[in-house]
Amino acid sequence: MKRKLALFLLIAQWSMFNSQCSIASAQTPVYLDTTKDIEARVEDALARMTLAEKIDVIHAQSKFSSAGVKRLGMPDFWTDDGPHGVRPDVLWDEWEQAGQTNDSCVAFPALTCLAATWHPSLSILYGAALGEEALYRGKSMILGPGINIYRTPLGGRNFEYMGEDPYLTSRMVVPYVQGLQSVGVASCVKHYCLNNDEEYRHQVNVIVSDRALREIYLPGFEAAVKEGKAWGVMGAYNLYKDEHNCHNQYTLNKILKGEWGFDGVVVSDWGGAHDLDQAVKNGLDMEFGTWTNGLSEGASNAYDMYYLSKQYQKAIVEGKYTTKELDEKVRRVLRTFFRTTMNKQKPYGFLCSEEHYLTARLVAQQGIVLLQNEGNVLPIDPAGKKILVVGENAIKMMTVGGGSSSLKVQHEISPLQGLQERLKDSNCQIEFARGYVGDVSGSYNGVTTGQNLKDDRSSEALIAEAVEKAKTADYVIIFGGLNKSDYQDSEGHDRKTMDLPYGQDNLIKVLAAVNKNTIYVNISGNAVSMPWKKQLPAIVQGWFLGSEAGTALAAVLLGDVSPSGKLPFTWYESLEQCGAHSFGEAAFPGIWRNGEKKIIDEEYKEGIYVGYRWTDKQKLKPTFAFGHGLSYTTFKVSNLRCAFNETTDGNMTFKVDVTNTGNRTGCDVVQLYITDVKCSVDRPVKELKAFQKVTLKPGETQTVTLTTDKRALSFWDETADDWKAEPGEFIAQAGDASDRLTCKVKFTLK
């Protein structure tokens, strides 16, 4: 695998050197669990284990580890948080740092950025690089990737997920899982399922139609399991059908393990188990958490008091349960051991390598989205120019904080540092003005940024300084947006509004009024309202880009790399354009049941109409559409055709021509959407069903082949409890954004 990863990276280096976007299609990794005797080894080990040993392996013994079987030579099993890097080690039973000096890491871009690349081959690089860092740190399972659906822009944890569309999520999660597991580290795909809120996440009971569940919220998980062969799945904190999703009969036993044939291990989110009987019977295999119940009650022997610990063992001894359920849990745990800790074929890991930084930089560069570029103010021509950089987000480290994805990095290049380094040998002058003061804290669980961001000046003084400098600048680049503080992009709380914090709207308007070349770069994992959009020539979505943030942003802003990212979610003008916010409090954030603050019922009344499906249905024009993203060149997508205009099995092959009509090399994402013309149920106006990223030289035309199958034509039939494609006429449309579909073709399912 090392040689394979090196080959991919060499190809990527060549690609980046030529300012192109395509990477050779990644081959399916060779899995490390292909030995035919794994099941025999599992049964052999199971037969040798005592009851106490079986109980020990199915629950935590520390914050991030569970016991192995020492008598049989099986080491302890160590997990760690992801999904953007390997979390620094904490003390055995405290969240504070262990004080180690060898647990710094590479921070890869947040998964919203990875999804914005629309490039599955980058996803496999990402997973493999992350896996190598985990191996070096002695971790056998990374708690990621996160793939919950972007239902509302207020979701505090949206930055850890892959956007609003189930098909895009499916295509990006499979190679991530394959890359991670190809080096012998288990993925733990999370949070299964319907974990779309952070506020009251332990109490939210989601009410959703079977159609919406199957068509919107489950396809990513299904692909990760059935195609990616994920070795682990993490249950979610919330409830569905009045059962917590860490032990849910319907989602875990019926769907995950029954219908999908998942043979891996189901891990609870930390403190996500709530009931012994449900934990035993409803699909949970390993219980992790904190203290006694993971939330509030504590004891010196906390881990022995878990549901799947001593009380489970006692209940078996007393005859309340047989060992049937226990043995099935242990089989899954042992299977995971033999794939990871007991796998002699896994390679050695390494940390903070040049290849890992290159992977982080490539993902960042290809995920950055050029949202607006009136008058082609971008890319910046720095020769002899004066550039004013404004904003706290130009200097603030973004890898520390935000919850469990907080990291301790070897380095993080800020946007200001990236520009300074890129232009150090030029005759360009760079100035900085703070502009606004936001969150000046720089620590999380004992990791500190070392930055002193304190500034006691008034907002009026900060704006006045920025305005004065902007008057004489050739370009003004504002780095604003959100950060990883509570109620922004952070675990544990949802946002309260789409508005920018810290008075940034006023700052942007004032600077735009005094400098016509004002560029706004939004650093966030979520969409924000933009009341000043028409006043600015250029807007860039910069995400949370990790260790190589500044380098990647400088490369795009200065034109070393032509932007090629596409939005993985609809950028609403306001919350009123979002389906989840169109049905009152019952749909979001939910209503407390019986007036008691124990369970909050949240009904997904928009059903399948999430994101562009909703704006299409309501004929709304969002600020930026799903799949939108500009380039420094231009493209034409034309001549969509299919090999046969009718099919009986649903499998279709489409061809479409893409031409670079501009004057520089660049890459575009060809997107294929399908419409069911007439159906017995209400269906979206269109749905994404295929895409491909291509690189083209000026004037070059490439024919892209896109394939779909019967699932692409199907809806979930709630009566039959199965997928159904009705015969009749369909329309396929192709373009490079959901609102820029330039050609179409009709075909028939017979």
Active site amino acids = 269
Say if strands 591-592 and 600-603 run parallel, antiparallel, or are unpaired: antiparallel
Helix 415-422 vs helix 549-557: angle between axes, to the nearest 10 degrees?
60
Backbone torsions φ then ψ of 66, nearest 5 degrees: -125, 160
Tokens of 355: 């290849």
Query: Any residues with CB less than 8 A from the CB of 486 and at least 6 apart, and which?
Result: 492, 493
Sheet architecture: strand order including 701-708: 635-642, 652-660, 701-708
Report yes or no: 749 and 649 within 8 Å, Cβ to Cβ: no
Instruction: Compute the half-sphere exposure of residue 78: CA atoms within 13 Å on the CB side of its CA.
Output: 13
Report yes or no: 235 and 287 within 8 Å, Cβ to Cβ: no
Give the 3-state secondary structure of residue 410: coil
DSSP label at residue 69: B
Q: What is the CA radius of gyration of the chain?
A: 25
Tokens of 274: 């709530």
Burial class from Cβ neighbours inside 10 Å (0-12, 13-18, 19+) for residue 32 reads buried
CA distance between the termini of the chain:
45
How far is residue 535 CA from its own chain's centroid?
31
Distances (CA, A) of 255 to 213, 248, 414: 11, 10, 44
d(C-alpha 656, C-alpha 744), whole Å = 10
Amino acid, res. 470: A
d(C-alpha 147, C-alpha 197), whole Å = 13
The size of the chain, in residues, is 750
Amino acid, res. 426: S
d(C-alpha 334, C-alpha 318), whole Å = 25
What is the secondary structure of 256-273 as a DSSP string? IIIIS---SEEE--TT--
Instruction: List strand residue ranges (DSSP E) for 397-515, in order.
Output: 429-433, 443-444, 447-448, 475-481
Say if strands 741-749 and 518-523 run parallel, antiparallel, or are unpaired: unpaired
